[in-house]
Every structure is written in C-alpha cells, then in structure tokens.
Amino acid sequence: MDYLADKVSTFDSDRFECPATDCPVLIEDILGIGLVESNPRIVAKNQKVVSEVFVEMAKYLRWCPGPDSSLAIRDRTHGALTGVNCSECHDTFCCACDQEWHDPLCCRLLKTWKQKAADDVATSAWLVQHSKPRPKCAMSIEKNASCGYEFCWIRLGTWRPHDLVRCSTYSVSEANKDASHESKALVERYMFHQDRFKAYQESLRLEQALKPQMHMKVEKMKALEMNRFEAETPRQAWETLLKCRRMLMWTFVFAYFLKNENEHVGHGSNRNYM
C-alpha cells in the first residue's frame, strides 16, 4: 500500500508496475484504488491523473484552456471554427486551435498576427539595446564599426565631392519614392489597427477583472429572494459586453488583413460604430 501511495503521489501516471524486480505485470486501477482507499487524498490524485490521461488520449475531448477551469469539453465540430463558453470559468475559446475566441479571424491569420506582434517586440528590444536616437531627429542609428566613412544624409551618397546645390535641390527617383511611401503606409496601417486592437484588449481585460464583483452582486440579489431571471441579468449583461468587446477587438485584426478595396466596403463603412 505504501508503494502505491508513493507512486500516485510522486508520478503523474495511471499505470502501476509490480514492485517485484523485473516483473512486467501492471496493477489494475481498481485494485490500486482498493488498496489505498483509506487515503482520500491519494485516491483523488489518482482519479485526477486517470482523467487527464483519458482526456489527452481521447480524440474529441479537450480541456478548457482557462486558468480557472477544471472542465473538459467534447468537440463535435471536427476542427471547425467554433467558440465554446466554459460554464465554470466563463471564458470562451476556439475549438480548432485552443486559443481565445477570435471570431471573425481564422486560426491561420491569428497565428500570423501573433507572430507579427512577437517580431515587433523583438525588433523594439533590439533597437533599445543596439542603437541610439540621433540628437536632432531622434532616428535610431547603429554604430557597429569605426570605418570613418562619411556620407550625405540627404542624398545618401559620398560626402566628397559634395555638391551643396545638389543637396538643396534634393530629388528622389520615382521608384524609391514609391517604395518609401508604400513602406510608410504599411507601417501606418499596421499601427492604426494594432493601437485599436490593444485599446479593446485592455478594455476587455479590465471588464474580465470584474468577475468576482459580478459574482458577489448576483449572490446578493439571490439573497434578496429575487427570481432567477432578475438575479442572473447582471451576469448575462456582463457576458454580453465581453462578447461584444472581444468581437470588436478581433475585427480590427481582421480588417488589417483585408485588401484596401474590401476594407473600404466591409469594415471602413462601419468604422464609426466601433
């Protein structure tokens, strides 16, 4: 019995080998529970391990990814984009990718967006560590070698021979101008949608933090002997607000991946309502 209790409390396994040397026999789960049934903590841990193994091996079962949930769901969507609301933690997640619910964004674009955000964070961290802003224009520059090379910042050409008249009448080729404008437009487009995504994300976080207060409010209303509909109304309103906030948050990401002409028709015409 001590052997089984030690195995259950030490290892996250649903199988117990015979303690005899070189014996391949496995102890049946029912027998194991019977031998340690006097210790409720050991029995509960064993049942938890068995449940976890069962869910992980089952094709259409999965755990709710919410940090405050111990429930599993049965996925009947066969990988389709479907949001599931956990009845324990009240979080909504995607059955297809196990991430937070991201409608109307598909799972592929969600992965692309998160990768882009991670790349931007890494780029910003690198710039802070390896570059300094110029005193006059605050543009980030890197000094990685003292080669003594001098160049004209305006023309991006050699300093000598230096033609002041040419610099004063600065012009850029149409190809470079178009490329520069396009690059700037892409950055501005990304920042526009990212800023609004983060604003709704922060609002969603603050509203989710109201969960304990919402629970207390519902319990107080029940204590006043209100009917179930009246008592649950604040919770339902709160959950509806979270759904709307989450939808608006991911809508800006969805709009970022749209082509300009589609965005103008689909998202741009409704932007005032966001």
Shared-domain flag, residues 272 and 222: yes
Shared-domain flag, residues 211 and 75: no
DSSP per-residue string spanning 15-55: -EE-SSTT--PEEPHHHHHHHSTT-HHHHHHHHHHHHHHHH
| Token reading at 110 | 């969600």
| Token reading at 26 | 């496995």
Domain interval for residue 262? 107-134+189-274
Shared-domain flag, residues 80 and 53: no
Rounded CA gap, 93 and 64, in Å? 8
Shared-domain flag, residues 206 and 81: no
**Given pLDDT bands bounded at 50, 70 and 90, which one contains residue 39?**
low
Tell me: pLDDT of 214 over 80.
yes
Shared-domain flag, residues 64 and 52: no
114 or 133, higher pLDDT? 114
Amino acid at site 228: R
| Alpha carbon separation from 78 to 39, 95, 96, 111 (Å, rounded) | 40, 9, 8, 20
Shared-domain flag, residues 117 and 214: yes
Rounded CA gap, 238 and 52, in Å? 32
Find the mean pLDDT for residues 23-39. Answer: 63
Of the candidates 150, 157, 197, the residue with the CA atom closest to the CA atom of residue 173 = 157
Per the listing, tokens 């015409």 go with: 269
Shared-domain flag, residues 19 and 94: no
Question: Does a structural domain hold residue 154?
Answer: no
Predicted confidence (pLDDT) per residue in 235-264, tens digit: 888 888 988 999 999 999 999 998 754 544
Rounded CA gap, 240 and 227, in Å? 20
Rounded CA gap, 16 and 35, in Å? 12
Rounded CA gap, 8 and 42, in Å? 7
Question: Does a structural domain hold residue 128?
Answer: yes
Shared-domain flag, residues 270 and 220: yes
Number of domains in the chain: 3
Check residue 235 and give its pLDDT: 84
Shared-domain flag, residues 93 and 13: no
Shared-domain flag, residues 196 and 265: yes
Per the listing, tokens 């939808």 go with: 247
Shared-domain flag, residues 52 and 130: no
